[in-house]
Structures are given as C-alpha cells and as structure tokens.
Amino acid sequence: MKQIALLTLKSTRNRKFTIFLTVLSIGLSVCLLLGVERIRTESRASFINTISDTDLIVGARSGPIQLLLYSVFRIGHATNNISWQSYQEIAEFPDVSWTIPISLGDSHKGYRVMGTSKAYFEHFRYGRKQSLQFKNGGVFDDLYDAVIGSEVAVKLGYDIGNSVVISHGAGDVSFIEHDDKPFKVVGILTPTGTPADQTIHVSLGGIEAIHIGWADGSAPSGLTISAAHARRLNLTPKTITAFLVKLNSPIATFKTQRAINQYKAEPLSAILPGVALQQLWELIGIAEKALIAVSVFVVVVGLFGMLTALMTSLNERRREMAILRSVGARPIHVFSLIIAEAILVTLLGIGVGVVLLYGLLVVAQPLLITQFGLFITISFLSLYEIMLIGLVLKAGVLAGIIPGWRIYRYSLNDGMTIKT
C-alpha cells in the first residue's frame, strides 16, 4: 500500500501540469457547489428569519401569505384597514406583551413609507432575534422626522438632515406628492437583509398629518392645512394597516389567534409569521433547486475532466505499466495505482475548493451585507456540506474505475510487448 502511494505521488509529479489543471477544475466545481449550498441555506435562514420574536401578525381578513406580503415584505396592498379602536382593544388583551402598529399606503421614489411607533425600533427583531441598529442618527422624535433603511440611504444618496417628500400611493411613479409637509432624515439603519432596508419609517402622527383633509384617497379640494397648523391638531390614527403582536407566553398563541380571528367588531386575520414564511418559501423556493442542479452539473463536468485526463494518458502510460509488471507488480496493483491517483486528484481538488470557498467568503461577506443585506456566516462545514464532499469523493473514485479497468486489461494483455 505504501509503495502504491509513493508510485502515485511520483506519477502525478511527472504529469504535474495536467494534474494541476484537473485539480483546479475540480476545485472550482467544489467551490461552486459548496458556495451555492452556503448561500442557499443562509438565504433561506435569512428569509425565514425576516421577522423573529413576533408571535402573531394581525390584519384585515385575508389569506396568510397576502397578509405576510404586505405587512412584512411591503408587497401588494391590504384588502382593508383596521380601526384604531380594534387595535387598542386587542393590544389590551391580558396575554399581549407588546404590539407594533403599521400604516402603509405611501411611498418615496419607489420605496415604501411605513408609519409606526417607537415600539418598532424597540421591539422589532429579525434574524436570530437581532434588534435594529442605527448607522447614523436615531429614532424619530419630531412629527416630521424620518428614519430610512440602509438601501434607501445608499441608492438615493441620503444622509442625516436630507429632506424627504412623501408621495401618495405605493407605486413607483406618483403624480400626487405631500410636498407641503416634507420630512427630515434623522436616522439611518444598518443593513439587516430585511425589507427594513428598503423602507422609510415615519411616525403614525406624521402619516395622519400629511393626509389631513383627504377623503377616500382623494386630495383635499379646498385649502390645505399647513405643516405648522397640523402639529396643533389631534393626530391619533383612525385606522392602521396591520400590527405585530408579542405574547407573554407562547402557550397563549393559539388562544389569542382564535380570539382575534373571531373578533366581532370587524373581520380580522391573525397569522403565525413562521408558518406563513414557510408557506411562502415553498412557493418561491424552486429557484434554489435550480441552483443546486446547476452546481451539481458543474461538479460532474469537473469530474469528467479528470476522467478525460486519465483516459487520454492511458496509451502513453502503457509502457510505464508494463515496466511495473516486469518488476513484479500484479494487474490489481496497476488498477490500484490508477484508483489511488483518482482519489489523490479528487482530494486535492476538494481541498482547493474548500480553501477557495472560505477565501471568497472572507472577501464577499462585507459586500453581500452592504449590497444585498445578506449575512453569510463563516463557520465550519456543516454535516450536509461534508456529505456533499463525500459524494464528490465517491464520484471521483467511480470516475477512476473506468481508466483503472482499462489499464488493468492492458497490463494483462501487453506484458512487455508495447503495441503501436
């Protein structure tokens, strides 16, 4: 066995350039396979953890995915609003620990504007129960203060003190602007990888102020009320779009959900965010299967490259094998030599792929956070990733069987006679 190992090393050294290219090809394939798997698992975890430490999401009666889309991902529109009275009554339930009201319907240059309270910055959690952090500034205090997400700041070039004019409606283009009541940026959030990055946060009172005199979505026909005058008015919301609920104990989740779903004052829906997120991922998660399929095919191509390199070298190595036979090597030894060479090349390729993976993770991690808000952990290989590496190694051994069998047959037939 030791002799076969030494012969394998010497044989690969004699063909170092070809072996180098083969190892590099397998390394790149393994790097892509593990990279896609790491991004897939982290993306799924980031998606599932878009909102965490929240027990219920409450909105007007609708399907769970629709409610999740507009309340968490700011996609689509609510079927109806919730009265402020109903919100307050539910917030006073004995099992409720805290609530976060959400008011949607306006935008700024394609980004959604969300009215909320300071409880949002205090209680909202994402990922592994991570809280919102500020890159610059802080929470809104004034009626016309705004806190913007990291993507809004980067894409629009906003900084503390910039003016934000909110547009009516949630479309990318709006012909009605609340330019008589501009907001001032007082806080910029750090990247989270959640819709908070693409959201402009203002107070519920601010949302009410810009809509004074509006009826049924139409602008006031008479004189508008100035920003200064609006401060002196009662700006308690009449309705909100949805709200998040945290309970004192998870045991009360289903009881509270049932009570809200059977709420008699108005038709409401209370959903479990984790369950709705899982349902949504099942609808859109087909892309991850396509990524896995592509990366697997790339690995197969890399192993076929190794097979091709071994097969093309067989004819020129027949003399080498015949010499080994003449000094006492058996056909099984020659077969083992080729298999050992395939294992060595595959192992070297796997090692190169793992090194490339971690090198790319170190370089790409800050870029992924700032550009896409996706945090990729630099951790040891998971059991599933190790299993994938094991499958690649097995495939490499199988790829070596074909040339090994061919050289085995050659060594039986050739002896010391070399066919030309």
| Domain locations along the chain | 2-47+286-414, 56-271
Would you give the DSSP letter of residue 272? -
Question: What percent of the chain clears pLDDT 70, i.e. is strictly above it?
Answer: 78
Q: Which of 90-94, 310-314, 339-343, 362-366 has the highest mean pLDDT?
A: 90-94
What pLDDT does 5 receive?
55
Q: How many CB atoms lie within 10 A of CB 322?
A: 18
Take residue 286 and report the two structure tokens written for it. Answer: 């087909």
Distance CA 364, CA 64 (A): 35
Write down the pLDDT at residue 21: 79
Cα angle value 54/56/60 (rounded, 5°): 135
- Residue 166 pLDDT exceeds 70: yes
Do 239 and 88 touch, CB atoms closer than 8 A?
no
Predicted model pTM: 0.72
CA distance to 210, 211, 288, per residue, from 231 (Å): 11, 13, 50
Per-residue model confidence as pLDDT tens digits over 289-318:
777 777 777 777 777 776 776 666 655 565
Residue pair 242/67 in contact by the 8 Å Cβ criterion? yes
Per-residue confidence (pLDDT) for residue 38, from 0 to 100: 84
Task: State the Cα–Cα distance between residues 175 and 169, nearest whole angstrom.
Answer: 9
Question: How many Å is the Cα radius of gyration of the chain?
Answer: 31
**Predicted confidence band of residue 75 (pLDDT cuts 50, 70, 90):** confident
The model's confidence at residue 420, banded by pLDDT at 50, 70 and 90, is very low
Tokens at 408, concatenated = 């085995």
Look at 58-72, 123-137, 255-269, 335-349 and tell me which has the smallest mean pLDDT: 335-349
Strands (E), 343-382: none
pLDDT tens digits, 247-291: 999 899 999 999 999 999 899 999 999 888 888 877 766 766 777
Structure tokens at 74: 């700011």
Q: Which residue has the tokens 């805290």?
A: 98
Q: Tokens 């779903």 sit at which residue?
A: 261
At 236 the three-state DSSP class reads: coil
From residue 280, give the alpha-carbon distance in Å to each of 48, 66, 204, 285, 286: 9, 10, 29, 8, 11
What average pLDDT does the segment 15-20 reach? 72
